[in-house]
């Protein structure tokens, strides 16, 4: 008697087609197998999705189960066992084996024939599925390591959209970028108009957008290119993104790494730096128009971790105030609340000058940060080790329970086993999520050699320009912005302190209520409960 069969196929990536696992290849193998074993194929179901999705939730899997539940077929044919699922917990394959066994249906694989639905056959299938699941994890890890290796070798990784001015070339591992000749003149013209070095008046971003729109210059062709919008007219955001793209000097980024590809540079370094200086100056325009000067605006955080902003009190006293003070009464939980602006600004500026004036001071700061990072990350490393042990223990437990599926004789026993597996699976998912977070924190906290060299290069550029920068507030503010200075207030045994960082660590700076004569122009104010200081003649007046 000819058996009725259903062929099931699944593919999750385009790359599988290149390795002989395409849907068409699987279906052809299933038809050939059915013909060789005198089976009539009454249906073919396919899934173009990941094997981690439960079978019943896939379109093809749902169709497969309708025939199984109604006993509409005599046999189910898969190309290989890993085409069923890539469930790391091996639950899905055990459930499918149980369901086809209870329905009196045979399970066949094109590469190994009819499988035994008893306990021994279950062990074999589960072992094969475990190997497939492990291979999936290895593939993911290999892909991630491959992308990192490609970045470290100085090649564009290929993830995400290509920047405006470039297009993809090649496929797979060989994908790269080439310059789009049609868009290069537009990019160079935008930089030229914005930085004009020929003595002519430089155009604003708004004026550039209006000029390009009036002339009918083609906007970026793809809306998803680095977030660039696509429309009939150029926008300020489009031009600003183009002016900020380091890709145009041949610098691309991936996972915190800078990839230098000089042959892809469209703009020279000097022109790009001029554009960044003007962009930075424009961002500070609002601050320059304000009456009061706060050097660390946007760079300082309170002892409670909240951001602090500059405020003038009693008509003349300047402070950095914790943002909790602007919350409703129940949310005002910070005890610090405020700190004198002139004291903090002066301490931060003095530290910056001492640090960038000496390579030795920079190196010492980097070593302090590396040591602090190591100390702070040690508890997370210990927790990571504990999680690995727990994951291994729970994984073995689930595999043992799954192996017991074939021995269950009652629905109650099966339900109890499923509940145990489900609960342990949830715990396992939580542990894996925590492990991923810890691993990301540890990697992000590490100070790489590239970050050190990049910081040294930035400091050298600033050091060379100090002679021409002047000593006014705007020059200081520009340097603080360029360095990305961060200030975190802490309460210590010696009183309130400021932890300063520009990618290197400072010794804690104790904030004293006295103000040196060389302090930035600012109004003295009370500090940590002391009475207000007298008004300084150097303070600006309305």
- Partners of 178 in the β-ladder: 167
Encode pLDDT of 228-245 as tens digits. Answer: 444 457 888 888 889 988
Q: Is the pLDDT of residue 9 over 80?
A: yes
pLDDT of residue 522: 41
Encode pLDDT of 333-379 as tens digits. Answer: 787 778 888 888 888 888 888 777 777 766 666 666 666 667 767 77
Q: CA 208, CA 225: separation in Å to the nearest integer?
A: 20
Q: Is 391:432 a contact under the CB 8 Å cutoff?
A: yes
Question: 206 is written with which tokens?
Answer: 């708004």
pLDDT of residue 413: 72
Whole-number Cα distances in Å, 206 to 183, 190, 201, 202: 20, 11, 14, 12
From 259, 264, 261, select the one nearest 152 (Cα to Cα): 259
Domain positions in the chain are: 3-150, 166-283, 293-381+447-542, 382-446
| 529 or 281, greater pLDDT | 281
- DSSP letters, 28-68, are HHHHHHHHHTTEEEEEEEEE-S-TTS-GGGSHHHHHHHHHH
Burial of 337 from C-beta contacts in 10 A (0-12 / 13-18 / 19+): middle
Q: CA 327, CA 471: separation in Å to the nearest integer?
A: 37
Q: CA 333, CA 395: separation in Å to the nearest integer?
A: 44
- Partners of 393 in the β-ladder: none
CA dihedral 392, 395, 401, 403 (to 10 degrees): -100
| Look-up of token digits 């960044």 | 276
Instruction: Indicate the pLDDT class of residue 39, thresholds 50, 70 and 90.
Output: very high
Instruction: Indicate the pLDDT class of residue 161, thresholds 50, 70 and 90.
Output: confident
Q: Can you give the pTM of this predicted structure?
A: 0.37
**3-state SS string for 493-523:** CCEEEEEEECCCECCCEECCCCCCCCCCCCC
pLDDT of residue 190: 92
3 state DSSP class of 372: helix
From 183, 136, 90, 197, select the one nearest 417 (Cα to Cα): 90
In residues, how long is the chain? 542
| 78 or 141, greater pLDDT | 78
pLDDT of residue 519: 42
Mean pLDDT of 179-191: 90
Question: 219 is written with which tokens?
Answer: 């906007």
3 state DSSP class of 142: helix
Q: Is 81:128 a contact under the CB 8 Å cutoff?
A: yes
pLDDT of residue 220: 79
Instruction: Indicate the pLDDT class of residue 187, thresholds 50, 70 and 90.
Output: very high
Q: Are strands 166-169 and 176-179 parallel, antiparallel or unpaired?
A: antiparallel
Q: Which of 5-14, 180-189, 385-394 has the lowest mean pLDDT?
A: 5-14
Q: Is 89:427 a contact under the CB 8 Å cutoff?
A: no
Q: CA 120, CA 130: separation in Å to the nearest integer?
A: 15
Q: What are phi and psi of 172, to 5 degrees?
A: 60, -130
Instruction: Indicate the pLDDT class of residue 76, thresholds 50, 70 and 90.
Output: very high
**3-state SS string for 100-135:** HHHCCCEEEECCCEECCCCHHHHHHHHHHHHHHHHH
Encode pLDDT of 26-38 as tens digits. Answer: 889 999 999 999 8
Q: Are strands 106-109 and 75-78 parallel, antiparallel or unpaired?
A: parallel
Q: CA 388, CA 375: separation in Å to the nearest integer?
A: 21
Q: What angle separates helix 449-469 from helix 473-483, to the nearest 10 degrees?
A: 170
Instruction: Indicate the pLDDT class of residue 515, thresholds 50, 70 and 90.
Output: very low
Question: 318 is written with which tokens?
Answer: 């300047």
CATH hierarchy code of domain 166-283: 3.90.1750.20
Q: CA 538, CA 290: separation in Å to the nearest integer?
A: 17
- DSSP letters, 258-284, are EEE-GGG--S-HHHHHHHHHHHHHHHT
3 state DSSP class of 74: coil
pLDDT of residue 90: 66
Q: Are strands 176-179 and 317-322 parallel, antiparallel or unpaired?
A: unpaired
Q: Is 515:527 a contact under the CB 8 Å cutoff?
A: no
Question: 110 is written with which tokens?
Answer: 């094109």
| Look-up of token digits 């993104």 | 241
Whether domain 3-150 has CATH 3.40.50.1390: yes
């Amino acid at each position: 008697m000819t058996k009725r069969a259903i062929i099931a196929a699944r593919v999750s990536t385009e790359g599988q087609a290149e390795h002989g696992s395409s849907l068409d290849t699987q279906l052809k193998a299933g038809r050939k197998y059915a013909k060789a074993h005198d089976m009539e194929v009454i249906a073919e179901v396919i899934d173009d999705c990941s094997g981690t999705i439960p079978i019943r939730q896939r379109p093809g899997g749902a169709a497969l189960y309708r025939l199984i539940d109604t006993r509409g077929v005599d046999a189910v044919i898969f190309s290989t066992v890993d085409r069923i699922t890539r469930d790391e917990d091996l639950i899905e394959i055990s459930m499918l084996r149980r369901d086809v066994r209870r329905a009196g249906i045979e399970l066949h694989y094109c590469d190994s024939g009819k499988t035994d639905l008893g306990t021994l056959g279950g062990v074999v299938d589960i072992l094969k599925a475990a190997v497939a699941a492990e291979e999936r994890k290895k593939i993911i890890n290999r892909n991630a390591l491959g992308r990192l290796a490609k970045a470290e070798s100085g090649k564009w990784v290929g993830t995400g959209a290509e920047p405006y001015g470039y297009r993809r070339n090649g496929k797979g591992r060989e994908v790269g970028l080439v310059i789009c000749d049609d868009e290069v003149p537009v990019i160079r013209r935008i930089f030229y108009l914005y930085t004009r070095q020929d003595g002519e008046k430089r155009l604003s971003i708004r004026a550039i957008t209006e000029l390009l729109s009036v002339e009918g210059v083609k906007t970026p062709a793809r809306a998803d290119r680095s977030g660039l919008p696509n429309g009939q007219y150029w926008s300020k955001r489009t031009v600003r993104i183009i002016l900020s793209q380091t890709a145009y000097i041949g610098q691309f980024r991936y996972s915190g790494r800078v990839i230098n590809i000089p042959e892809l540079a469209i703009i020279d370094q000097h022109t790009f730096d001029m554009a960044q200086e003007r962009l930075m100056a424009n961002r500070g325009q609002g601050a320059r128009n304000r009456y009061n000067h706060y050097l660390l605006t946007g760079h300082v955080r309170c002892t409670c971790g909240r951001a602090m902003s500059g405020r003038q009190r009693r008509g003349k006293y300047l402070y950095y105030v914790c943002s909790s003070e602007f919350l409703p009464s129940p949310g005002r939980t910070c005890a610090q609340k405020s700190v004198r602006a002139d004291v903090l600004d002066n301490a931060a500026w003095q530290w910056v000058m001492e640090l960038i004036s000496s390579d030795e001071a920079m190196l010492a700061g980097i070593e302090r940060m590396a040591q602090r990072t190591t100390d702070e990350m040690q508890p997370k490393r210990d927790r990571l080790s504990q999680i690995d042990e727990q994951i291994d223990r729970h994984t073995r437990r689930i595999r043992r329970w799954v192996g017991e599926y074939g021995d269950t004789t009652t629905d109650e026993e099966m339900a109890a086993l499923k509940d145990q597996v489900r609960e342990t699976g949830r715990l396992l998912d939580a542990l894996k999520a925590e492990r991923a977070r810890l691993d990301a924190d540890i990697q992000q906290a590490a100070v790489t050699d590239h970050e050190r060299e990049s910081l040294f290069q930035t400091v050298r550029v600033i050091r060379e320009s100090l002679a021409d920068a002047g000593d006014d507030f705007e020059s200081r503010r520009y340097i603080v912005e360029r360095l990305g200075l961060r200030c975190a207030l802490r309460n210590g045994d010696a009183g309130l302190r400021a932890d300063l960082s520009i990618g290197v660590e400072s010794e804690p700076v104790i904030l004293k209520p006295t103000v040196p004569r060389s302090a930035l122009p600012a109004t003295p104010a009370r500090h940590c409960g002391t009475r207000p200081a007298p008004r300084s003649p150097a303070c600006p007046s309305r």
